[in-house]
Structure 1
Amino acid sequence: MPNNKAERTVINLNKLGFNRFLQFGHYKYTEAKPKLENHIHEDSIELCFFLKGQQFYRIKNELFQLKGNDIIIISPNTQHSTGTYPEDKGELFWLQVSLNEQEGLLCNLPSHQTNSLLNQLTKNSDIIFKGAHSLKTSLEELMNELQNPTSSLTALKINHLLIHVLLETLNLAQTPTQETSSERLEIINQYIMDNLHRIIYVDELASLIHVSTGYFKPWFRKNTGITPKEYINRIKIEKAKILLSQKKSVTQVAFDLGYNSSQYFATSFKKFTGITPKSFLLSHKLFPKRNS
């Protein structure tokens, strides 16, 4: 069984006797990894539970941005990848389920219940919706049971958890989203964009939506999956890519975005993109102007 301390764990559930279930996986990256190439899952859906960080996925020809506590179900036979983006710093669970009836019943459910559940999940595919802490707990418990079987009842527990994960995911997909949080985040995002040239403090952001800093930090993480500091840094790095593409020097970009030094900027850039600013310039055949 995989080590639960591994950076990336993949378990083939069908090989363990769990019909209709394919891969169950988890990763927890502390830095960006190479991009996920374009691929499909034949006659199966893939449930992606993004716990922390942010990630771009290109599904068909549409670009999706997932943040912490987001879920997306990828429809069967659909090309998807991370596009031009890396597999980003963050934490993700994924679960693949076959729609092929010849592969047996889902956790011993009657065929009509199996088909109904999978059809409903498929109908809610290719849209982003919010997760819940209880679902995160179930996913962690499922991984623990698979890695550390404790008794003859382990298979029964795993079947129960698998069905619970599918049912809770469906329930969340059908739950109306709240607009209040997204409206607050729009205000915060615009403020950050207007102040990229300097250091932005957390208490400034809290005051924008009229809450205390103590309340703001956990609220922000719950709604974005990352800390305010990381969120600001991610926006700055995306802006840095644009400025570098305009052939500005690394030193000038660092200054324009309020970094204390070009070395700190380069470290931050690599942390979120997987490459240095210099490598970014070379890979895009960009060379700074001599007078910049």
Structure 2
Amino acid sequence: MRLKIPECWSTFRTLGDDPRRREIGCGFIHKRHPYGVELQVLFRERYGALLVLQGTGSYRDETGIEVPLTRPGDMIQRLPSRRHWTPVNAGDDWYECFVTLGVDFYNAIVTLGCIDPDRPVIHSYVNQSIVDEFDSLRHHLRSAPDTELTAILLQIQNLLLRLQHDNKNCNQDRQLAEACRLLADLPSQRIHMEDVAKKLGMGYESFRKWFRTNMGMPPGEYRIRRRIDTAKTRLMQGAPVKEVADELGYADAFTFSRQFHRVTGMTPTAFRRMH
């Protein structure tokens, strides 16, 4: 179903005396350029979260995290003091809705667990109800008396929490499958878990804990077991132990045999004889 996107405009208010640290904002933005748009952003004392409504682009930041494709339903976090780029693909009509919060409010919602700063791009969801909720929120923010700004702040907090956690199982299954694919690919090459985490749009510690929770083992151990699965196939095909060790990038046959025994409970030679 095609979304009905309202007129693009934004509004900002301040809850308290410091407009930089205690800002609240909400709005809709449209971007389009025949050659693409690459926007460099650095929020020093505020946080932003945008929800992609239409169009495609990508994300990268100064920490090395890259997400090669951002699309409708993705929530992109503009984290305080982290320089990042959000290119829009050439010719695309890009629409987004967003909220911004001063850094004081950002620190509070991180402490409450409403958002995960280690995942700057979260594969969430979008529907007409969410679009209408953002539209209603910005109208309320523009016209509300100061006494209602705290209630609006709580509304934004709940909205961010839902966008991050609703539809979690579907998105998590997709992301988990991609993580397993990356860990199983190129068994003969050495890979760094930090690089896998970046490809998934996560920080390393968040990735490690998330993967272990869902798979019952750390990502490094998962990769070892997939390498051993490849070794089993080659051994059953009659390949010599040293040849398999070389193919899989082990330093020597002894190192390979020791790891094979730890995982399977038998030596590669014994496994080869049995099969």
**TM-score, with normalisation over the residues of structure 2?**
0.46
User: TM-score if structure 1 supplies the norm length?
Assistant: 0.44
Greater Rg, structure 1 or structure 2? Answer: 2
